[in-house]
Homo-oligomer: A and B are copies of this chain.
Amino acid sequence: MSDRLTIALDAMGGDSAPRVVVDGAEMACERFPEVDFLMYGREDEVGPLLDRSERLKAVTTLIHTDDVVRSGDKPSVALRAGRKSSMRLAINAVQDGNASGVVSAGNTGALMAMAKFVLKTLPGVDRPAIASFFPTLRGESVMLDLGANLNCDADNIVDFAVMGNVFARCVLGILQPSYGILNVGSEDIKGHEYLQDASAILRRANLPGEFVGFVEGDDIAKGSVDVIVTDGFTGNIALKTAEGTAKLINEYVRQTFKSSLFAGIGYVLARSAMRKLRKRVDPRVYNGAIFLGLNGIAVKSHGGTDALGFANAIGVAIDMANHGVIEKIQADFSTLTRQEPEAQAAAV
Contacts and interface: CB of A to CB of B under 8 A. Distances in A.
Interface of A: 71-72, 74, 135-137, 147, 150-151, 182, 184, 187, 189, 191-192, 216-222, 230, 232-234, 236-253, 256-257, 259-260, 262-263, 265-274, 276-277, 280-281
Contacts of A237: 182, 184, 216-217, 230, 234, 237-238, 241
Given A192-B150, A266-B267, A259 B273 contact: yes
Nearest to A222: B244
B244 A220 contact: yes
Given A189-B72, A218-B240, A237-B238, A263 B252 contact: no
B273 A256 contact: yes
B239 A256 contact: no
Contacts of A281: 249, 252
Nearest to A135: B248
Contact of A217 (B218, B238, B273): B238
A194 to B, nearest CB: 11
Contact of A269 (B137, B150, B249, B266): B266
A145 to B, nearest CB: 11
Chain A interface helix/strand/loop/mixed: helix
Given A218-B241, A242-B245, 8 more contacts: A74-B189, A218-B240, A219-B244, A241-B241, A241-B245, A256-B270, A256-B274, A260-B272
Contact of A184 (B150, B182, B184, B191): B150
A185 to B, nearest CB: 8
6 contacts: A150-B192, A217-B242, A233-B234, A256-B270, A266-B266, A266-B268
